Copies of this chain bind each other. A is one copy, B any other.
Amino acid sequence: MDLQNRQLLLLGLLRIQTMHGYQLNQFLEEHLDFMTSLKPSTAYYTLERMAAEGLVEAHAEQAGNRPTRQIYAITPAGEIRYRELLRRNLASYDPCESADDIGIAFLADLPPEEARQLLAEKRALIQDRLDKILAAEDRVDAASATHLSLERVKRQHQLDLEWLSEVEAWLERALAQEAEPGSAPEP
């Protein structure tokens, strides 16, 4: 996630309600866990930075005897920026090219049997996450925008399960070819 989307997300939340950093982070963890991996430290940094830019205003609050905390509220400049970022986000498309499947390119460097086992572990991980997403889907209003986002993540996981099957098939073929053509097995 890049800076712009992070700002968009935080501004969007502050627009709904003024909050302090910890509260924001709690909200992110509770409700947006499956969508973003915005770390607490990063959120604090982003808030400070936005405060310096005048997009949000912080005012210190003393609750009981706790360390004073900064309550952030969106400013008019922040509102304008919010709209800009929202427009940019809706009109753009860059699905982080994470190359998290780079290992596939080097699949042939491992003994096929081991590769098969490792891929089975990967499959289990995907399935696990998918189950969690399905459970979460039951809990959100089917007409909400959140549901749309969940739907996307769900399908991505389903797609990756299917794709993994093809990788496994590919591995099987490679294995068969290796055994087949009368070549002496190496010692």
Chain A interfacial positions (CB closer than 8 Å to B): 1, 5, 8-9, 12, 15, 32, 34-38, 82-83, 86-87, 89-110, 114-115, 118-119, 121-122, 125-126, 129, 145-146, 148-149, 151-153, 155-156, 159-160, 163, 166-167, 170
Copy number in this complex?
2
Query: How far is B13's CA from A109's CA once the two chains are assembled, in angstroms?
Result: 12
Measured CB to CB, the closest approach of chain B to A28, in angstroms, equals 10
Measured CB to CB, the closest approach of chain B to A110, in angstroms, equals 6
B90 touches A1 (CB 8 A): no
Measured CB to CB, the closest approach of chain B to A164, in angstroms, equals 9
A96 touches B100 (CB 8 A): yes
A93 touches B129 (CB 8 A): yes
B107 touches A90 (CB 8 A): yes
B122 touches A103 (CB 8 A): no
- A91-B121, A145-B108 as given contacts; A9 in contact with B102, CB under 8 Å: yes
B148 touches A104 (CB 8 A): yes
A118 surroundings in chain B (CB, below 8 A): 87, 90-91
A103 surroundings in chain B (CB, below 8 A): 8, 86, 89-90
Given contacts A12-B106, A93-B125, 19 further A-B contacts (CB under 8 A): A5-B100, A9-B102, A35-B102, A86-B109, A87-B118, A90-B104, A90-B110, A90-B121, A91-B119, A91-B125, A92-B125, A94-B100, A96-B96, A96-B98, A104-B148, A105-B146, A105-B149, A106-B145, A148-B170
A8 touches B148 (CB 8 A): no
A105 surroundings in chain B (CB, below 8 A): 12, 145-146, 149
